[in-house]
């Protein structure tokens, strides 16, 4: 079935654009076991999770939140448009009707953030990058200027993202509960990698720096 221009456009918006409120409401709809309507397990199957993975997620308090986090961490195909397509395929029109306005609002805010000018070093010959916290450099920076803080910054090569995904799972979604800064996931697009890296390490209370040394990084 062909999608409208608006629906197709959402295929380019990463799932991380959805904020906490929408994710919580998705859980309210999808977490309960339902013999009539498709629940979170049906959604997980459409996201290509394995049977064993789904069985393990049953033990979590909020399996919908877990599969959303896992999905966006493991593949760049995890988009808002793809999620809406899955819900439509599973005939969860109740979810679509109730949450569509909030989803569209989250997407609008994400695009506004992404369209802001990238953070730049104001003085060319300065060795210390200077940026305005209020301009925002990560997706969850507050518009009022309160910066998003992290426990560790991960420096890696694109070809090693599968290893990074496993690190995310082990350190963020287990009892460690660390908050990692992963450039492809957490930083606004269009930002200068070196300027942002310096900013995050210097001002975001990053007390650990993890450097992944693989052949692709050398």
| pLDDT tens track for 131-188 | 444 567 777 776 666 677 777 888 777 777 778 888 888 888 877 778 888 877 888 7
Domain with CATH 3.40.50.10140 in the chain: 133-217
Query: Cβ atoms within 10 A of the Cβ of 59, count?
Result: 8
| pLDDT tens track for 75-99 | 888 999 999 999 999 999 999 999 9
| pLDDT tens track for 2-20 | 444 455 588 989 998 999 9
pLDDT of residue 130: 41
| pLDDT tens track for 33-56 | 877 889 999 999 999 999 999 999
Helices (H), the chain: 5-9, 20-30, 40-46, 51-57, 63-74, 80-89, 93-115, 161-172, 183-186, 193-203
pLDDT of residue 5: 47
pLDDT of residue 128: 40
pLDDT of residue 195: 77
User: Is the pLDDT assigned to residue 201 strictly greater than 80?
Assistant: no
Assess contact for 178 and 171: CB atoms under 8 A. yes
User: Is the pLDDT assigned to residue 129 strictly greater than 60?
Assistant: no
Distance CA 60, CA 71 (A): 16
pLDDT of residue 18: 93
* Superfamily holding 133-217: Toll/interleukin-1 receptor homology (TIR) domain (3.40.50.10140)
Token readout for 76 is 């760049």
User: Is the pLDDT assigned to residue 126 strictly greater than 90?
Assistant: no
Assess contact for 129 and 195: CB atoms under 8 A. yes
Sheet of 208-211: strand order equals 180-182, 152-155, 208-211
pLDDT of residue 165: 81
Domain 5-115 fold: Death Domain, Fas (1.10.533)
């Amino acid at each position: 079935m062909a999608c409208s221009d608006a629906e197709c456009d959402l295929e380019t918006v990463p799932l991380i654009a959805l904020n906490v409120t929408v994710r919580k409401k998705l859980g309210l709809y999808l977490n309960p076991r339902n013999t009539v309507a498709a629940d979170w397990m049906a959604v997980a199957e459409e996201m290509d999770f394995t049977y064993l993975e789904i069985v393990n997620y049953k033990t979590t308090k909020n399996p919908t939140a877990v599969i959303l986090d896992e999905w966006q961490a493991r593949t760049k195909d995890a988009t808002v448009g793809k999620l809406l397509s899955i819900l439509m395929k599973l005939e969860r029109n109740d979810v679509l009707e109730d949450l569509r306005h909030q989803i569209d609002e989250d997407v609008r805010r994400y695009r506004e953030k992404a369209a802001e000018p990238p953070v730049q070093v104001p003085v060319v010959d300065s060795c210390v990058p200077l940026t305005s916290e209020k301009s925002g450099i990560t997706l969850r920076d507050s518009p009022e200027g309160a910066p998003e803080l992290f426990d560790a910054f991960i420096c890696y090569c694109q070809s090693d993202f599968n290893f990074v995904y496993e690190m995310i799972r082990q350190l963020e979604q287990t009892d460690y509960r660390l908050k990692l800064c992963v450039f492809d996931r957490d930083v606004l697009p269009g930002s200068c990698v070196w300027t942002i890296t310096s900013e995050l390490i210097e001002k975001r209370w990053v007390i650990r720096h993890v450097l992944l040394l693989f052949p692709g990084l050398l």
